[in-house]
Structure 1
Amino acid sequence: MIQRPRGTRDFLPDEMEFRRNTEMKMRKAARQWGYREVCTPTFETQELYTIRSGEGIIKEMYTFEDKGGRALALRPEGTAAVLRMYVNEAKVLAKPLRWCYLSDCYRYERPQKGRYRQFWQFGAELIGADTPEGDAEAILLADDILRAAGVTYDLHVGHLSPMRAILRDLPEDRKRTIMALLDKKNMEGLEETLDSWHLEDLESSLKGLLEADTTDDVFAITGPIPEQERIESMVNVLENEGTVFRQNYGIVRGLDYYTGMVFEGFAENLGAENQIIGGGAYRLAHLFGGDDVGSCGFGIGFDRVMVSLGDVPVPDETVVAVLYTPEAREYAFSLSRKFRDTGFRTEINLLSRGIGAQMKHAAKTARYAVLAGDREMQSGTVTLRNMKTGTQKECSVAEALHGVSQEWQ
């Protein structure tokens, strides 16, 4: 038996319907903010991803050479391709641009709960609004999308400027060491490292910043910084909107990528891999030959959304099974069409089975059975049976359609 590749999944109908319904809720929430959906190719030139992250990222990507000898890669995330599209197709459009997407992405890494080699990312990019209001909109949009999907999560919002201000006098190698320890939340290792460098004052400042949960606390540690007004303005918008969030100025993931505002979200039911969203402000377009436009956006792990939502619900849908005797086949097909045209999922018998066997099968799959035999065909009627209650009646086609519409008992 040929198995599916490691890190991929199959989705049966109930799960696919659950996924599609969740997607629709998320798309609707994004569109209400003015974000319209875009789509980029599944594969891009390898350089699109290495130009920012370096050649080391290749080991984490699915890469290949096409028949023309070009180095290509399946997309590992969505933002780079969207910004490449902006440079190629849309840099002359009026800004800000509000785009969203749902893309399948590919990374070669060890599969685990909520982490796969083929996965889906719901993302949004706000291009050309380098303002505190733009920062706030990205966070508010993300919050609306996740809540529309039904996700319960904790939102952490921060800004990189305070951390950079504290570390501004350190050599780059020491900054990277500190960032790695903070990213792993290895506070014991951080303390030992700073003690070995005789930077006890820096240790106190960093711990204070990690514990700060108001802008007043932050600027009491850093002193005045150029970005102070922008940070305060963004926080004020979020608080005035009633957003439930925690200020967290210890967010350091993506320090080399993000330029200012950063935020993360952590959801239930995900175990250790509980981050469901990450985003922030960045400048990327100039790397691809465009203008140095300020942008902000986020990526939601759609597969983690589905894990967080829990078990796939049993669909509550009215299904009609059309059963018939051989002489009433054409009549049964025309009946099926009428029920489908009315909006019902309708399944007709396709096997050479007697009415008893058809009825037994319908009991497993349908809420109503519509029986068409020679008598019904001659009189233009049907026998409508409620499979839940066992009651049935012979009636006109119009009455059957109305009965199913009104959930006849």
Structure 2
Amino acid sequence: MEISRPRGTRDFLSKEMKQRKYVENTLRRVFENYGYGEIKTPIFEDLKLFTEKSGEAIKEEIYHFKDKGERDLALRPELTAPVARLYLNELQRHPKPIKMYYFGSCFRYERPQAGRFRQFWQFGCELIGGKSPEAEAEVIAMAAHALEEMGLKDYKFHIGNLGIIRSLLKDAEVPDDEQQQIMGLIDKGDVEELETLLNNLNVSDSLKNILLQLIGIKGHNEVIGEVRSIIKNCKGAFKSLDDLEELLNLLETFGFTNYIVDLGIARGLDYYTGIVFEIYVHGLGAQKQISGGGTYNLIEIFGGEPVESTGFAFGFDRVMEALKKQDTEIPVKGHVNVFVAPLSNDMREEAFKIAQNLRKYGISTDVDLARRKVKKILSYADNLEAKYVVLVGARDIADGKVTLKNMESGDQELIDLNILSQDLGQKLNGR
């Protein structure tokens, strides 16, 4: 009987895990340098946490089930809602702003395809209670800093403000349900379908033209003046545009200019209240978006006090794919620095003692467990990318010594057994 892994999942071997761990640790270092602390939430949550956030239709896209106590639960499809729940349960009285980051697997029941899996990973953050646009500028700068540290190239931030279009729709008294339809199609980027919807909803030609102009605008901060001339007399839209302009100015202060103003970003979710952004990587095709985020008020949806939050999440798997396609060099070291090789069966116990001493000294060490001949031991150690092999022979041991072989140069030297750990430690640390 052949047992395969479930559809839409992957196995990761040691080399790939080292690469993923390196990128994960790079992200951790950057986030913590900005004052974020790591949190963890359960892999499964109450189903209503996600239906409250996204509606009942979300059940078609996620893994949900009843447990033995007949409770409706779901494997988390994302991590923003669990973080909001954690805040409500544990942190409402905590001094603000609160900076949290997370890394974990999520699950969606969708058709597996390139860049889309049923189990995937997110690395993201939430800044709860920060004031905009300062909080937004720092979050965007942190995301850019992280990509720079990873060595990723050819990426661009697309930044917009939902308040501009929402204010225009509100001033025109477009009903809420129709507003959501419009924002959904803007988010999809389907201009033709959007035009059809606007015609069907009997939206005025003036508003239709303004909306179509706005979502087509792309550029740097020089487009702010163009937007002002289009939105005319809508005070709410002007306020949101001022917020966007202030954010762009602050990004300059943070030393970040790699962005495009894009008012066609809608994120498709009604709890986003202002600034939104997405990160695209050239060359990834349909799966070019590696991150998305913005400012929102999700806490209130779950019954808490209104509190502004800013956050984003990297699609970790897409980041890894982008690094792979760009041939980015990810440092991967062998997981064993030293291999201990007994030269005869009666030296096996001595080899085990030496290996244990090296391990207790903090040196990653493996030892022959297959009773190989010396030639095969050296070949196996080379395959493990061990830097040194300790050859344990009866004559050397009798003199209190072992032979140390440098696997890169091939050089060998006799080392006193009582200083082996210190000597290897110095060699491995470059001293």
Q: What TM-score does the superposition give when structure 2 sets the normalisation length?
A: 0.87
Structure-2 residue corresponding to 1:339: 358
Cα separation, 2, equivalents of 1:127 and 1:183: 25
Conservation of the 8 A alpha-carbon contact between 2:53 and 2:81: no
Kindly indicate whether residue 260 of structure 2 is the aligned counterpart of residue 246 of structure 1.
yes
Higher mean C-alpha deviation, range 225-234 or range 112-121: 225-234
Structure 1: stretches of 5+ with no match in the other structure: none
Aligned to 2:332, the other structure's residue is in SS state coil
The RMSD of aligned alpha carbons is 2.4
Structure 2 match to 1:306: 320
Residue among 207, 211, 216 paired with 1:206: 211
Alignment deviations for residues 298-334 of structure 1 (CA, whole Å, 9 cap, x no partner)? 1111111111110685733463211102222232123
Q: Counterpart amino acid of 2:337?
A: V
In structure 1, distance between residues paired with 2:96 and 2:208? 42
Query: Given the alignment of the two structures, is residue 18 of structure 1 paired with residue 32 of structure 2, yes or no?
Result: no
C-alpha displacement of 1:392:
2.2
Equivalent residues in 2 for 1:44-55, closer than 5 Å: 44-55=45-56
For residue 400 of structure 1, report the CA deviation from its aligned partner: 8.1
Matched, 1:160 2:181: no
> What is the rounded CA distance, in whole Å, between the counterparts of 2:299 and 2:152 in structure 1?
32
The runs of 5 or more residues in structure 2 that have no matched partner are none
- Aligned equivalent of 1:282, options 285, 291, 296: 296
* Rounded Cα–Cα distance in structure 1 between residues aligned with 2:300 and 2:372: 67
Within the alignment, does 1:315 sit opposite 2:319 as a pair?
Answer: no
Q: Tell me how far apart the structure 2 counterparts of residues 186 and 273 of structure 1 sit (CA, whole Å).
A: 17
Measure the CA separation in 2 of the matches of 1:66 and 1:400. Answer: 53
2:348 to 329, 339, 343: 329
Q: What are the Cα deviations for residues 380-400 of structure 1, in whole angstroms up to 9, with x where unaligned?
A: 111122333333233334368
Which residue matches 1:59? 60
Aligned partners of 1:194 and 1:202 also within 8 Å: no
1:183, distance to aligned residue in structure 2 (A): 2.6
5 Å matches for 1:261-300? Answer: 261-300=275-314
Pairing partner for 2:186 from 176, 179, 182 = 182
Q: Structure 1 residue 116: deviation in Å?
A: 0.9
Change in Cα spacing, 1:75 to 1:193, as seen in structure 2 (3 Å) is closer
What's the CA shift for 1:297? 0.7
Q: Which amino acid aligns with 2:146?
A: I
Q: Does 1:218 align with 2:239?
A: no
Contact kept in structure 2, 1:382 and 1:400, CA below 8 Å: no
How far is 1:294 from its partner? 1.2
1:235–1:313 CA distance, 2 compared to 1 (3 A): closer
Q: How does 1:395-406 map to 2 (within 5 A)?
A: 395-397=415-417, 398=419, 402=423, 405-406=426-427
Using the TM superposition, name which of 206-215 and 80-89 deviates more: 206-215
Question: 1:400 & 1:181 partners in 2: Cα distance?
Answer: 65
Question: Does 2:408 align with 1:388?
Answer: yes
- CA distance in 2 between counterparts of 1:198 and 1:179 reads 14
Aligned pair partner of 1:370 in 376, 390, 400: 390
Inter-partner Cα distance in structure 1 for 2:85 and 2:197: 40
Post-superposition offset of 1:88: 0.8
* Shift of residue 138, structure 1, vs aligned partner: 2.0
Using the TM superposition, give the Cα deviation of residue 85 of structure 1 relative to its aligned residue in structure 2, in angstroms. 0.8
Is the deviation greater in 53-62 or in 181-190? 181-190
Counterpart amino acid of residue 239 in structure 1: E
Letter matched to residue 183 of structure 2: M
SS at the partner of 2:239? coil
8 Å CA contact 2:79–2:106 kept in 1: the answer is yes
Where 2:408 maps in the other structure, the secondary structure is: coil
Residue deviations 1:240-283 (CA, integer Å, cap 9, x gap): 22212111111112341201110100124532111111101111
Structure 2 residue identity aligned to 1:183: D
Give the Cα–Cα distance (whole angstroms) in 1 for the partners of residues 187 and 243 of structure 2.
Answer: 25
Secondary structure at 2:287's aligned position in 1? Answer: coil
Stretch deviating more after TM superposition (125-134 or 217-226)? 217-226
**Residues 359, 207 of structure 1: alpha-carbon distance in 2 compared, 3 angstrom cutoff:** same
2:59 and 2:203 mapped to 1: Cα distance?
38
Identity of aligned residues (%): 42
Aligned-partner residue type, residue 133 of structure 1: E
Distance 2:71 2:198 in 1: 47
Aligned-partner residue type, residue 93 of structure 2 = V
TM-score when scaled to structure 1?
0.92
